Amino acid sequence: MDITLKQTETLLAKAKAKAVEIGIPMNVAILDTAGHLKGFIRMDDAFLGSIDIAMKKAKTSMLFRMNSEEVGKFLRPEVAAYGMESSSDGLMGFAGGIPIKKEDQIIGYVGVSGGPIDQDFIVASAAAAID
């Protein structure tokens, strides 16, 4: 089962609300389970450079079916997989990419960028919360 347009719109609204609440303009990307873009918002004054980062956080989460910061553990120089970040047209190994689950099944992925990493994670977590 893939994320629906209605679910995507709801989650983008949740992300936007959380970003407004914390006062950081964000870029938010939602991908379906195949990694195709389902929805995207760029809030006013969000950094243009963060568009690609948000997309890559979501894609990194999709490629490994886990949070992007968990993938980041494999990207550190002391790990045997160092250099892996250049694969798949670039991976983002820090917080802000999260699988979206419904009834324990992944239905999509969200990537958020625009603020400090901890705030990206807070907004991504809000966006990943399916009711």
SS3 string of 113-130?
Answer: ECCCHHHHHHHHHHHCCC
Instruction: Look up residue 68 and give its amino acid.
Output: S
| Predicted pLDDT of residue 130 | 77
| Predicted pLDDT of residue 17 | 97
Instruction: Look up residue 61 and give its amino acid.
Output: S
Q: Which helix (H) or strand (E) holds 58?
A: helix 49-64
| Predicted pLDDT of residue 31 | 97
Q: What is the residue extent of each domain of the chain?
A: 5-127
Give residue-wise pLDDT tens across range 56-94: 999 999 998 988 888 887 777 666 666 666 556 667 778
Distance CA(27)–CA(10), nearest Å, equals: 15
CATH 3.30.450.150 fits 5-127, yes or no: yes
Longest distance between any two alpha carbons in the chain, whole Å: 43
Q: Which parts of the chain have pLDDT scores under 70?
A: 77-90, 131
- Is pTM beyond 0.85 here? yes
Instruction: Look up residue 128 and give its amino acid.
Output: A
| Predicted pLDDT of residue 46 | 97
